[in-house]
Structure 1
């Protein structure tokens, strides 16, 4: 007489069945890990959130890790971080070439580098569609673009109501604020979740109505254009115009220094997009900025813009013989 062995899952005999609960914003994704993406990843990871970022090559992934590590090393040097905390932060950040690794994210931010409005609008729309194919229906999809409105980007998605626009400032990576924008399709639930995330990373929510340039960029480009106008009129030097705003108005980063940090080519694209949207000459890029961009003097990234910089990105201070 043969005996048959039966195998049954022990879980079926449990007295209480519970689904494993998932903490909101336990994992976020970033598409494009340039300066914006790196700051975003570093800050989110600092607050215990798992981060996966998507890049186009292994070289770009390694570059992102190196740059994040450099910023963390600077924090250690200034007693703002320990070596153990640095290791913990980096352990929560993963780079990938595959969009499938975004599966399980609660929040995905598109932060690719812009080139021109037409080409990048199509590319961003394609990225949104790729994200939607791999994430759950309740995952928030956002863009960090300031001059392309979220309604336009989300218009071809199936679940357009979960799309939001945010602006995570890069000129001052520790700026304690994030602009949050609701599009025409954005649901109240999705908007509230994004606001909760911003608070979770210890930033102030700045609500903004959908508009090209939002608050920060629109105000900044007008100020920079006026600074360039005074420079071309010979009213004062780059250094003294900056000092007036930094010392006189308490700006942590003054106009020309801030522009160099952001990248002059990026600023020209911002200005062109806002000018095309509103048609106001205030937003048209100054000839002085365009001249620097044509000469590939883009700011810190190239070692020269309004100011000159060494290999470590530190500004080379010129001695003023007149004063």
Structure 2
């Protein structure tokens, strides 16, 4: 009887170099505030592995807790199951080490905004440099910024052609649209790949030429300022102005509700940036906005803005607008 030869099956497997890696099988996110959490959830829902970088274990845990709460709302209102929630969170990993981004196909900078615009730009440039130090030359680097120009952020990198800007809509996580911005150095190949990524996560690509504010923030800033002007003139009361835009024009949120969701401090920074960029008074923040920010009424996240909210972000009072004395 012939001797049976036994050979290890590993000899016939592909080596790591030979294995074909699916594009965007893993992405990285630097900063996991509301924007980073939104991107992480969206990507994970569609089977993409996500690693996010934060500054401390406390912030990592906070991000997990907030994502868990959002998914619980999906279970309650959208029919998601507990097993789906577990699978989504299992694909998301928090880390303090930039080296964990090394095998990502796409890394998106989404750090929290700072009060001083120049400091924010410098901080984001530093993030871009740290990303470039650890990722492969083929990895795409992006930012979710709306008012900072991607060309400026990428101008000092070795591979500037792989940088791009995109804008996911955090005010409505179910909004299936994403603005994608090509910088001065962005290559056609990178731009097309990023558009494929947006389609992969079931979002409609909105191509946007590089400009502060893109389409979304420029339009909404003007709307919010005019709504504040109408309120100050006494033409209508705050909740009624929101109702006109929601019921009359089919908006999901009125301008004051949406500003609270975005964050009034963030709106003021965006508008200051637009006013500095274009010099048009329609972008200059309304005195009402500045007054609320000075009073630390930043919006839904802190429990008070134009409206007040409970610990779950649900509106509990819409009468305090009568106390405005502008």
- What TM-score comes out, normalization by structure 2 length? 0.93
Q: Which blocks of at least 5 consecutive residues in structure 2 are unaligned?
A: 1-6, 321-326
| Structure 1 stretches of 4+ moved >6 Å | 9-13, 15-18
Q: Which blocks of at least 5 consecutive residues in structure 1 are unaligned?
A: 1-8
Post-superposition CA distance 1:32-80 (Å, at most 9, x none): 0000000100010000000000001111100100010001111111242
CA distance in structure 1 between the partners assigned to 2:296 and 2:121 by the alignment: 24
Q: How does 1:40-59 map to 2 (within 5 A)?
A: 40-59=39-58
Post-superposition CA distance 1:213-258 (Å, at most 9, x none): 0000000000000000000011111100000000000000110000
Task: Name the structure 2 match of 1:91.
Answer: 90
CA distance in structure 2 between the partners assigned to 1:195 and 1:30 by the alignment: 18
CA distance in structure 1 between the partners assigned to 2:113 and 2:13 by the alignment: 55
Secondary structure, aligned partner of 1:234: coil
Shift of 1:184: 0.4
CA distance in structure 2 between the partners assigned to 1:92 and 1:258 by the alignment: 30
CA distance in structure 2 between the partners assigned to 1:55 and 1:247 by the alignment: 40
Task: Name the structure 2 match of 1:112.
Answer: 111
CA distance in structure 1 between the partners assigned to 2:202 and 2:220 by the alignment: 24
* Structure 1 residues 213 and 15: alpha-carbon distance in aligned structure 2, compared to 1, 3 A threshold: closer
CA distance in structure 1 between the partners assigned to 2:254 and 2:175 by the alignment: 14
Q: How does 1:153-168 map to 2 (within 5 A)?
A: 153-168=153-168
How many correspondences in the alignment?
A: 312
Secondary structure, aligned partner of 1:172: coil
* Structure 1 residues 207 and 16: alpha-carbon distance in aligned structure 2, compared to 1, 3 A threshold: closer
Supply the RMSD in Å over aligned alpha carbons.
1.8
Secondary structure, aligned partner of 1:205: strand
Task: Name the structure 1 match of 2:287.
Answer: 287
Post-superposition CA distance 1:4-54 (Å, at most 9, x none): xxxxx9799769988001010000000000000001000100000000000
Q: How does 1:56-135 map to 2 (within 5 A)?
A: 56-115=55-114, 116-135=116-135
Q: Confirm or deny: 8 A CA contact 2:308 2:318 kept in the other structure.
A: no
* Structure 1 residues 71 and 16: alpha-carbon distance in aligned structure 2, compared to 1, 3 A threshold: closer
Q: Confirm or deny: 8 A CA contact 2:35 2:170 kept in the other structure.
A: yes
CA distance in structure 2 between the partners assigned to 1:16 and 1:57 by the alignment: 38
* Structure 1 residues 304 and 136: alpha-carbon distance in aligned structure 2, compared to 1, 3 A threshold: same
- What TM-score comes out, normalization by structure 1 length? 0.93
CA distance in structure 2 between the partners assigned to 1:199 and 1:82 by the alignment: 24
Task: Name the structure 2 match of 1:255.
Answer: 255
